A and B are shown apart, each in its own frame.
Chain A
Amino acid sequence: MKSFAHKLRTITGVQYAALLEYRAEMVLWVAGTVLPFILMGVWMTASAKADLVLQPVEMARYFFATFVVRNMTLVWVVWEFEQQVVKGTLSHWLLQPMDPVWRHFAEHLAERFVRLPILVVIGVVFFAVYPDALWTPGLWDIPIALAAIVLTFIMRFSVQYTFAMLSFWTERAHAIEQLWALPYLFLSGMVAPLALYPQAVQQVLVYTPFPYLIWYPAQKVLGLPTAAGSVEVTLGMAVGVMAFWTLVFILANRLLWRIGIRRYSAMGA
Chain B
Amino acid sequence: MNRYFKTMRLFWTTSLAAEMEYRTNFLISSFTSLGNLAGSIFLIHLIFQRVPEIEGWSFDQSLLVMGFFTMLGGVANTVLRVNLSRIVQHVREGTMDFILLKPIDSQFHLSVRRFISWGIPDIAYGILIVLYAGMRLGLGPLEYAAALLPLAAGLVTLYSLWFMLGATSIWFVKVHNVTYVLSNLLAAGRFPIALYPVAMRLFFTFIVPVAFLTTVPAQAMLGRADWLWLIGAAVFAAVAFLASRMFWHFALRHYTSASS
Contacts and interface: CB of A to CB of B under 8 A. Distances in A.
B32 A179 contact: yes
Interface stretch (B123-131, B156-164, B188-196): B188-196
Interface stretch (B46-54, B134-142, B224-232, B245-253): B46-54
B39 A32 contact: no
Interface in B159-188: 174, 177-178, 180-181, 184-185, 187-188
Given A28-B178, A31-B181, A38-B187, A182 B35 contact: yes
Given A31-B184, A45-B196, A192-B43, 11 more contacts: A25-B174, A34-B185, A41-B188, A41-B200, A46-B48, A179-B32, A182-B36, A185-B36, A185-B39, A186-B39, A192-B47
B interface, over-half SS:
helix
Given A41-B196, A178-B32, A46 B51 contact: yes
B13 interface: no
23 contacts: A25-B177, A31-B181, A32-B177, A38-B188, A41-B195, A41-B196, A41-B200, A42-B47, A43-B47, A44-B197, A45-B55, A45-B197, A46-B48, A49-B51, A52-B50, A172-B25, A175-B25, A178-B32, A182-B36, A191-B39, A191-B46, A192-B43, A192-B47
Interface in A143-181: 172, 175, 178-179
Contacts of B49: 52, 196
B32 A42 contact: no
Interface string B21-58: 00001001001100110010011001111110011000
Which 3 residue pairs spanning A and B have beta carbons closest together? A186-B39, A50-B51, A28-B177
A51 interface: yes
B180 A32 contact: yes
A85 to B, nearest CB: 18
Contacts, number: 81
Interface string A191-215: 1100011000000000000000000
B1 to A, nearest CB: 39
A33 B184 contact: yes
Nearest to B210: A38
B74 to A, nearest CB: 16
A127 interface: no
Contact of A196 (B25, B28, B46): B46
Contact of B46 (A44, A179, A197): A197
B185 A29 contact: no
